[in-house]
Structures are given as C-alpha cells and as structure tokens.
Amino acid sequence: MLFRFSLYGFLKNQRYYENFLYLAFLDKGLSYFAIGILIGFREVCTNLFEIPSGAVADLYGRRRAMIFSFFAYIASFVIFAVSKSLLPLFAAMFFYGLGDAFRSGTHKAMIFDWLRLQGRSDEKTKIYGFTRSWSQMGSAVSVLIAGALVFYSGNFVDIFWFSIIPYAMNIVNFFGYPARLDGDRQSEFSLKAVARMLGSALKQSGQFPPLRRLVFEGMGFEGMYKASKDYLQPILKQTVIALPLLLALDESKRTALLVAGVYFLLYFLSSFASRNSHKVSNWRGGDEGAARFMWWIDLAFFALLIPVLWFNWYPAIITLFIGLAILQNFWRPGLISRFNAQSTPETSATILSIEAQSKSLATIILAPLLGLLVDTVGNFSPVGIVGACIAVAILIAYRGELEERPVSVSA
C-alpha cells in the first residue's frame, strides 16, 4: 500500500499548469486583484463542500470520494483549456474547488487508517512525510514536463490538456485500494447521519481548545503560504526581463526555462524536507516543539522578504521563496500528525477536512487582499509584510504546547 499511496501523490502532482497558472492569467489580461478573486472563489467552493465531503467519505466510502474528486479535476482542466475570458474561469475554479474538497482530508485519513490497522500509528509523521516526499518528486518531474511543453508550444493551453492523463491514471490506481480503507460506512445514504457526524466534528473543533488552536495555526501558516507562493511565477518572469540571460531566445522561452529550473530545485528540496520532517520533530522533542521552532523560521523568512521585494533583489527573492516552500514541507506532516492526535478514528477524515477548510478560509481572505495590495503598491513587498504580521500574531497568541490526546465525542 505504501507504493499505491506514493503513486497517488506522484500522479496527483502532475499538475503541468500549476507553475504557470499566474502567468496564464496575466497573459489573459487579468490584474493581480482579479487573480486573487479567482483564487478566493476557488477556496469558497472548496470551503462550501469541505466538511460535508469529509463526512460523506467517512460514512459512504473514501475511494468513491477520491474517484469523484478526480473527475471534478478533469472537468476543470477542460474548462481552463478552452476558456478565453474571465467568466468561464469561475466555472473551472468551481470544479477545481469541488475536487479539492473531496480529496483533502480523505486520502490522509486512508493512510492513517491503514497505519492503525497495521499497528504502526506511532509512525504517522514518518509515513505521511515519506508519501508526501513522492508528491514533491512528482511536482519536480511535472515542472520539467510543463517547462518543455511551454517552451515548444509557446502557449499555456497544452499544459491543461496534458494534465488530464495522469489524473485518469490515478482513478485507475484507486481501484486497487482495499475496501477496508473505506472506513466503517453505512450502506444507505442519510442526510441525518451526515449532519450528526458533521455536528460532532464541529463541536470538537469549536469547544476543544487544542483543536481550535490547530485550526488557527493552520490558517496562519498554510493559508498564507497558499495565498502567496504563486507570486514566485511573475517574479521569475521579471527576473528574465531584468537579467541578461539566454538573450538568443524570446522572452516566453526564457521564462519557461527559468520557471522549470527554479521549481525543479524547489520541489526536489521540498521532497527532501517532507521525507525528513520527522527528524525535526525528534530533534525538537516532538511535533509541538518543532511547530514553534518553524513559526520563528517563518517569521524570519517573511521579514527578510520585505526589503528584498521592495528593492527587487531577484536572487534573494527566489532563495527566500524556495526557503518558504522547504519550510512548508517540514511543517505540513507535523501539522497533520497533530490534528490526527486530537481526533478519533471514526471522525478522522472529517477533522482533517476541517483543517483543510480552515486553510481555505484563510486563503479566501488573503488571496484578494494580497492581490489588491500588490496592485496598489506596485511591487510584491506586501507579501512579506502580511506574512510577518501573521507569524508575529501566532507566536504571541500561542506560547504553550498542546497535550496529545484524542477526544471522544458521542454522535
């Protein structure tokens, strides 16, 4: 099963469009604020379906939820490829958000359920980090393929069509998952049962302080990273224009080469970080100590971004964005492990979907805000300012460590 889990992550991250998405939107004449609105709309769609999707997956079969998710992704790729104006892009974002909602939390719950059945629950940070490292390796391969497609085609349309192939392959992969990973599901659909499980999970998150704290930490760290990470794409394009690199090639080909090279390095190092995230936890005495340490690193990176973005010091900007990506991949397995430690087996997918929903909520707010600030200021320094403010707020608000104990809430 570790092979299938890793294959899932590798194929899932064959998103050939991902590292050119902002550039594709800018090529259509969109402002950063309009792009932020699109990203926010996608997260609204994810947010609307996030918790119910986790409850449905827990009750009626996680494999079915994953297959539905990937069909929704494929629908979004088709619309992205054929869209020529802003309005159809909202439809593409709707299907993408729907796919995210039914995927996030669900597959992680399957991994943790398998570990529990194997008697290896104490390895959750290590195993999740291992499978996530294959996701990052998939991203590294993906950006090379995408760079080649953009380099030779000179457009951003083909990358959406080619993304359909690995997603169809992943649907086939899901058919090889054992039925026991569907969880203890009911055979008949019942809105009452979904509502009951959803209510129990929300009660845990709202009334139990450790879960509430994890929600806010996830919103701050993951939400900010998700809202800001793709600004690296236009920064790389500006780097191509500013620096005398490969002048024999036209601008689009030079941009494709630089994007492919930088993102390949980023994903390769991120894969290493995911695979070794458990070592940071061991070094800091557990997931809690590691989390606080990484919040300080997060603050340092965003604070340094403020001057380098203001003065357009491109090598330093690229280095810091790569550093943030590496840090996020050290952070993510530990956060998921912390959430899992505070949930019960029967509600694990629902609790993890609440985690993903909180990240979506933060992105809904931060993506348009960052876009508006960048358009207003005329440079990317607001990315560093907002990120640093969030890190300071979290470090002030949460100083102690969580007790690792699951909660039982009767349905």
In a domain, 402, yes or no: no
In a domain, 310, yes or no: yes
In a domain, 224, yes or no: yes
| Polymer length of the chain | 411
Dihedral angle, C-alpha 234, 239, 242, 243, nearest 10 °: -160
In a domain, 406, yes or no: no
Q: What angle do CA 267, 271, 276 make, to 5 degrees?
A: 150
Q: Which of 138-155 are b and which e, b meaning 16 or more Cβ less than 10 Å from the residue's Cβ?
A: bbbbbbbbbbebbbeeee
Q: How many domains does the chain have?
A: 1
* Residue with the two structure tokens 């760079």: 147
One digit per residue, the tens of pLDDT, for the chain of length 411 reads 778 888 898 999 999 998 899 998 998 889 999 999 999 999 888 878 876 776 777 677 888 888 889 999 999 999 999 998 889 999 999 999 999 888 876 777 788 788 888 887 777 777 877 887 888 788 889 999 999 999 988 888 889 999 999 999 999 998 888 877 776 655 444 556 556 655 665 665 655 667 778 888 888 999 999 999 999 999 999 998 887 777 777 888 888 999 999 999 998 888 788 778 878 878 877 778 888 899 999 999 999 999 999 999 999 999 999 999 999 988 888 888 887 777 766 666 667 767 777 787 888 899 999 999 999 999 999 999 999 999 999 999 876 655 555 444 443
> 253: domain CATH number?
1.20.1250.20
Q: How far apart are CA 298 and CA 303, in angstroms?
A: 9
What one-character DSSP code corresponds to residue 112?
H
Q: Is the whole-model pTM more than 0.85? A: no
Q: How far apart are CA 327 and CA 45, in angstroms?
A: 27
- Count the helices and strands in the chain (H runs, E runs): 18, 0
In a domain, 408, yes or no: no
In a domain, 127, yes or no: yes
CA 75, chain centre distance (Å): 20
In a domain, 374, yes or no: yes
Q: How far apart are CA 32 and CA 37, in angstroms?
A: 9
Domain of 196 in residue numbering reads as 2-397
In a domain, 195, yes or no: yes
